[in-house]
Homo-oligomer: A and B are copies of this chain.
Amino acid sequence: MALSPLTAVLLTAKRSMGLSFADLGQRLGADEVWVASLIYGQATATPGQVEALVQALGLEGDGAELAKQLTIYPVKGALDPVIPTDPLLYRFYEILQVYGLPLKDVIQEKFGDGIMSAIDFSLNVDRQDDPRGDRVVVTMNGKFLPYGKW
C-alpha cells in the first residue's frame, strides 16, 4: 500500500524526531488516534494545528509547504485491497464478519432502528495490563442516529 508523499514525509519526520502519536496529540490538543488519522490523510486540520505539527516535526521548505494540504478536505478511505490483508487490520474485518449481525441486533434492541454514526464519532486505544498477556482495548463512541420517516 503506497503512502501519499505527504504521509511519507510526516511519518519520516516523526520517526527522526522520536515522537509518538501521543506526543503529537499533546502538541495539537487532540487524541493520538485522531492525529494518526490526520497524518494518514483521513482528517482535516485547522491552520493552527498545521502550524503546531510543522513545528513539532521540525518541517521546513517543501515539507512545510506540503503540510498545508492538511487543511484540504480529503477523499477518505485508504485500504488496498478492499478486504485488508495486513493481519492487524484484517482482525477488525473478521470481527465484523463474526460479530457484525449480533452487534447490529444488540445495538438496535437498545436504541431502535438506526445506526451508530462513524462521523460524530471518536476512537480510542488503551493498554490493559494483564499477567497472562496485556490487552488492547479499542473504544468506539458514536452518536446514535435513528432512521427518519417522512
Enumerate chain A interface residues (CB-CB to B < 8 A): 1, 15, 20-21, 30-34, 36-37, 39-40, 42-44, 72-73, 75-79, 81-125, 127-128, 130, 132-150
Contacts and interface: CB of A to CB of B under 8 A. Distances in A.
A107 B105 CA distance: 28
A44 B113 CA distance: 7
* Copies of this chain held together in the complex: 10
Given A102-B40, A102-B42, A115 B110 contact: no
A128 B110 CA distance: 11
A149 B49 CA distance: 12
Contact of A98 (B73, B87, B95): B87
Contact of A148 (B75, B93, B121, B139): B121
Given A42-B98, A77-B97, A91-B115, 13 more contacts: A31-B150, A42-B102, A43-B113, A77-B85, A79-B85, A79-B100, A89-B96, A110-B136, A120-B145, A136-B142, A136-B143, A138-B142, A140-B140
